[in-house]
Amino acid sequence: MVWGIVLYHNERRALIGFLLIYISSSLLMLGFVGFFYYKEKLATIDRLCGVTMENMAMQVKVKLIKKSNIDIFFDTTASIKVGLFDKHKHAIRSNLTTEQVDFNQINYINHTSAFFVMELVAPIQKIEYIIIEDSELVENMKNLKSLIWLFLLVASIFIALIGYLLSRLLLKPAKENFETLSRFMKDSAHELNTPVTALMMSANYLKKNYDPEMVEHMLLSSKMISQTYNSIAYLAFNDIDIKIKEEFDLAQEVQASVKYFKEIASSKNINIHTKLDTLIINMDKNSIQKLINNLISNAIKYSYNNKEITISIQNNILKIKDEGIGIEQENQKKIFKRYKRIADKGSGGFGIGLDIVMEICRTNHIEISLESEIKKGSTFTLIFPLI
């Protein structure tokens, strides 16, 4: 939910994707700016520190040459500390925080301090090395890092808030349009339900008393309307329908669907052959019925007249094969999207059947694949998870 706007799965995924791209790209840009600012600031601090330490070393050297009192340089409370070493690199006098000094470098930094090493050309009072240590440099670096990280944290919160507000602003009109369409679908489903039920009841009654051929036409029409209603109702109410899992034989449900579509297949002189082994699954029966009905309905709809449809269950695999128009290779993934039809408008349909199939497969962890060849037909293969 985004500030009162209820989001479905795909919409939440799109929103999260948008926010991730927006926030990550913004933080990446800020990170680059912070990195270069840190490097530039660090170089400035390092230069100033280097000049300060070199100047301090020169003062110590002058004091040594003049044999003046140098106690002032050994104040333990001062941030800059001094070490005097002989030619063997042994400390003559030192208040450095460490005895591990790298005499091979002029300027360097360790984990706690920065160091400046001055090697005297001529020893002064047996002193050949003057070492200056500045502990403030590392502390300044740590403070600078903390400041940058704090800035990035505050900036990320601000960016996330702006992204959230922008998302809400962009989603609101689209969501309102979607809600309008959803209400239309629900109202249409309710309007279809009553006449469809009445038509089927009347047709079944008339079948016993009047012209069988006329009744067959009525049954055919009513079943076509019923199938359309079931598809629309699934899209309209799937988010609120209660799913009840139960164990049942998939073969029996397939056989029931074949019987249901018998009149529709006969209208195109299509024979449906079945070879169904028992397969017990634990799923919501209503959803699986809709899945099978949509696949068989599509097979009939897109088959040529006077052809055959073969349905088989072996092990945990359901296959539905038709001898129809087929599907082009580049469209075989697209047809599972909502409102995408297998063929042109002349073949009828709303383009929602295979979208429903894919949604049911995804929900129930059923693997679905398609093999198709133009003008030769298509085979849908479904692999059901074993109990």
Of residues 220 and 354, more confidently modeled? 354
DSSP string, 136-159: HHHHHHHHHHHHHHHHHHHHHHHH
Number of DSSP helices (H) and strands (E) in the chain, helices first: 7, 12
Local confidence band at 341 (pLDDT 50, 70, 90 cut-offs): low
99 DSSP 8-state letter: S
Tokens of 167: 């998302």
What is the per-residue pLDDT across 124-168, written as a single tens digit (0 to 9) for each?
888 899 998 887 777 777 787 888 888 888 888 888 788 777 777
φ/ψ (deg, to 5) at 305: -65, 155
Report helix, strand and coil shares of the chain as percent, to nearest 5. Answer: 55, 20, 25
- Domains, the chain, in order of start with CATH, read 14-140 (no CATH), 207-383 (3.30.565.10)
Residue 65 predicted with pLDDT over 70 = yes
pLDDT of residue 2: 46
Sign of CA dihedral 155, 157, 160, 164: negative
Residue 257 predicted with pLDDT over 50 = yes
Residue 19 predicted with pLDDT over 60 = yes
Distances (CA, A) of 298 to 261, 265, 293, 350: 11, 11, 8, 11
Spatial separation of the C-alpha atoms in residues 292 and 311, rounded to whole Å: 10
pLDDT of residue 252: 94
Alpha helices in 87-211 (DSSP H): 136-206
Alpha helices in 207-269 (DSSP H): 212-237, 250-260, 262-266
φ/ψ (deg, to 5) at 283: -150, 175
Distance of CA 148 to the CA centre of its chain: 30
Residue 233 predicted with pLDDT over 60 = yes
124 has which bridge partners?
127
Spatial separation of the C-alpha atoms in residues 55 and 44, rounded to whole Å: 17
Tokens of 162: 């702006």
pLDDT of residue 251: 95
pLDDT of residue 142: 78
Spatial separation of the C-alpha atoms in residues 354 and 342, rounded to whole Å: 9
pLDDT of residue 135: 77
Residue 346 predicted with pLDDT over 50 = no
Q: Strand, coil or helix: what is 334?
A: helix
Using an 8 Å Cβ cutoff, are 360 and 284 in contact?
no
Local confidence band at 292 (pLDDT 50, 70, 90 cut-offs): very high
Spatial separation of the C-alpha atoms in residues 291 and 301, rounded to whole Å: 15
383 has which bridge partners?
317, 367
